[in-house]
Amino acid sequence: MTLQTVQANDSSTLLASPLALPCGGVLPNRMIKAAMTEGLATPDGRPTPELERLYALWSDGGAGTLITGNVMVDADHLERPGNVVIDREPDPDMAARLRAWARAGTRKGNHLWAQISHGGRQTQSVVNRRPKSSSDVKLRVPGGFFSRPSPLSVEEILDLVGRWATAAKAVKDAGFTGVQIHGAHGYLINQFLSPLINQRTDQYGGSLENRARFLMEIVAAVRAAVGPEFPVSVKLNSADFQRGGFEFSDSLLVVKWLEAASVDLIEISGGTYEQPRFLTLEGIEPLSDQNVAPSTAAREAYFVDFGHAMQAHLNIPLMVTGGFRRRDAMEQALEIGATDAIGLGRPLCVMADAPKALLEGLRELPRYETRLGLIPRWLRALRRSNLVKTIDGFSGTYWFYQQIWLLGTKGKANERFSVFFAFLTVELRSRMILRRRHANALSGK
Ligand SMILES: Cc1cc2nc3c(=O)[nH]c(=O)nc-3n(C[C@H](O)[C@H](O)[C@H](O)COP(=O)(O)O)c2cc1C
């Protein structure tokens, strides 16, 4: 595919400049729509016309690159009902649906990368009561939303490595222009990296080298499947922000290994469901300090300092995601070399053309997240309970899920949708998808 440059009116900005990747690909500008789960697939995980509508809108929206939400390699380990699932070579119907999605999502000449993932122990109990993980350490999120996992056997691990490669090849064949391996936010790869979760005593546990083996084998298999000229990215935590967890020093070493393994771009994020730092939500325990010197841009974007500290040791392009709203803070982060690309998430759930607006001179994107919350101010004392905190945090995120659903189904978001109804609607829709999935499975469809 020929990539046209997405034109900026304000051509002097660093945001508008192209970014060359080690594989030879070029991103038309520095704004990347970060992965955001869509929940718009069929009950059995196939892309739909709603996904096409959503990505066509985002393609028109001016980001040089779009990264899809979680595309799962295992239908029993969804991040959420309504995920796209590629767990085998696509049949003709699946291949046609992937092609249509890729066509819509690249219609303005931007890049479109599929984020490939596995939920592991962060798979909700309503999806799977017997999830698999690196070990049998249960997620410490209250409310019974998640079940105790059992450890994957080596045979199952090798099967999953192969599935990542199959999914990467499938999206490449369909017209996607890159892939991202999801190694962050507490999903399966992160469950191997974390010494708190990974208690294995075989070659996949113990030292950092062993804990990173699963990720490195996936990277090697994906690279072999897509060839040397196709962008391969990894989303990685700068830290899990939990005492004894995956720390910044670990992250830095893993990034060095990824650089040597011909990865094209690392996206820096941080946190897990237990400590959802990537959404600046409160976790189940105080944040553990990661000793990275704070910069000005960090007040705006909370992982910028990690990017900055990493850049000193690396040559691989970095993307930092989380909290970027002001154009000058984005420009500053690029200018000081703290990052090579700016990841944008929540603003694009309502304002699908936010990147274009920034290129045309908009100074600041809306901070919708600051006004969302299920618990009214006068009941804030309730938030001392971890269960209430969890539900409150989920509901704000569900509001964004609802906006994405509106963009995909109606072509337009609705800022005024209430948090309470978003929570109800998203929850009911998820249950409905699961019921249809069970019905399809029973009828052998
Ligand atoms: C609705 C929603 C869905 C998300 N889904 C994913 C996902 O599928 N994969 C992922 O890596 N991160 C996901 N994230 C995290 C975002 O990629 C991003 O890291 C986070 O929103 C912080 O960036 P922001 O401050 O610009 O929103 C999601 C965030 C939101 C709000």
Is 70 exceeded by the pLDDT of residue 10?
no
Model confidence pTM above 0.85:
yes
The finding on whether 322 has its CB within 6 A of some atom of ligand 1 is yes
pLDDT value for 441: 85
The tokens 């059995």 sit on which residue?
44
pLDDT value for 11: 43
Q: Express each pLDDT in 174-197 by its tens digit.
A: 999 999 999 999 999 999 999 999
pLDDT value for 382: 65
The finding on whether 346 has its CB within 6 A of some atom of ligand 1 is yes
Decide: 50 and 42 in contact? Cβ < 8 Å: no
Residue 273 is assigned to a structural domain of this protein: yes
Distance 36 CA to ligand 1 centre (A): 5
The finding on whether 307 has its CB within 6 A of some atom of ligand 1 is no
Decide: 19 and 341 in contact? Cβ < 8 Å: yes
Q: Express each pLDDT in 343-392 by its tens digit.
A: 999 999 999 999 999 999 999 999 999 887 777 666 666 666 777 767 77
Residue 90 is assigned to a structural domain of this protein: yes
Q: What is the mean pLDDT of the chain?
A: 90
For residues 49 and 410, what is the distance between their CA atoms, to the nearest angstrom? Answer: 11
Q: Express each pLDDT in 260-307 by its tens digit.
A: 999 999 999 888 888 777 776 666 666 666 555 566 565 677 788 888
The finding on whether 402 has its CB within 6 A of some atom of ligand 1 is no
Distance 278 CA to ligand 1 centre (A): 7
Residue 444 is assigned to a structural domain of this protein: no
pLDDT value for 331: 95
Compute the average pLDDT of residues 43-47.
Answer: 97
Residue 405 is assigned to a structural domain of this protein: no
The type of residue at 362 is L
Q: Express each pLDDT in 81-140 by its tens digit.
A: 999 999 999 999 999 999 999 999 999 999 999 999 999 999 999 999 999 999 999 998
Distance 203 CA to ligand 1 centre (A): 32
Exposure b/e, 21-40, CB count within 10 A at least 16 = b: bbbebebbbbbbbbbbbbbb
Distance 161 CA to ligand 1 centre (A): 24
The finding on whether 389 has its CB within 6 A of some atom of ligand 1 is no
How would you write the chain as a 3-class SS string?
Answer: CCCCCCCCCCCCCHHHCCEECCCCCEECCCEEECCCCCCCCCCCCCCCHHHHHHHHHHHHCCCCEEEEEEEECCCCCCCCCCCEECCCCCCHHHHHHHHHHHHHHCCCCCEEEEEEECCHHHCECCCCCCCEECCCCCCCCCCCCECCCEECCHHHHHHHHHHHHHHHHHHHHHCCCEEEEEECCCCHHHHHHCCCCCCCCCCCCCCHHHHCHHHHHHHHHHHHHHCCCCCEEEEEECCCCCCCCCCHHHHHHHHHHHHHCCCCEEEEECCCCCCCHHHCCCCCCCCCCCCCCCCHHHHHCCCHHHHHHHHCCCCCCEEEECCCCEHHHHHHHHHCCCCCEEEECCHHHHCCCHHHHHHCCCCECCCHHHHCCCCCHHHHHHHHCHHHHHHHHHHHHHHHHHHHHHHHHHCCCCCCCCHHHHHHHHHHHHHHHHHHHHHHHHHCC
Residue 144 is assigned to a structural domain of this protein: yes
pLDDT value for 295: 64
Q: Express each pLDDT in 195-207 by its tens digit.
A: 999 999 999 999 9
Residue 429 is assigned to a structural domain of this protein: no
The finding on whether 230 has its CB within 6 A of some atom of ligand 1 is no
The type of residue at 48 is T
Residue 312's domain comprises 14-372
pLDDT value for 377: 67
The finding on whether 205 has its CB within 6 A of some atom of ligand 1 is no
The finding on whether 35 has its CB within 6 A of some atom of ligand 1 is yes
Residue 109 is assigned to a structural domain of this protein: yes
Is 50 exceeded by the pLDDT of residue 1?
no
Residue 4 is assigned to a structural domain of this protein: no
pLDDT value for 245: 86
The CATH number given to whatever domain includes residue 189 is 3.20.20.70
Residue with CA closest to ligand 1 atom 6: 36
What's the structural domain count of the chain? 1
Residue with CA closest to ligand 1 atom 13: 36
Q: Express each pLDDT in 428-441 by its tens digit.
A: 999 999 999 999 88
Is 70 exceeded by the pLDDT of residue 322?
yes
Work out which ligand 1 atom sits closest to the CA atom of 68: 8
pLDDT value for 238: 87
Compute the average pLDDT of residues 312-337.
Answer: 93
The finding on whether 36 has its CB within 6 A of some atom of ligand 1 is yes
Pocket test for ligand 1, best of 33, 36, 325, 367 (most atoms within 8 A of CB): 36
Decide: 90 and 77 in contact? Cβ < 8 Å: no
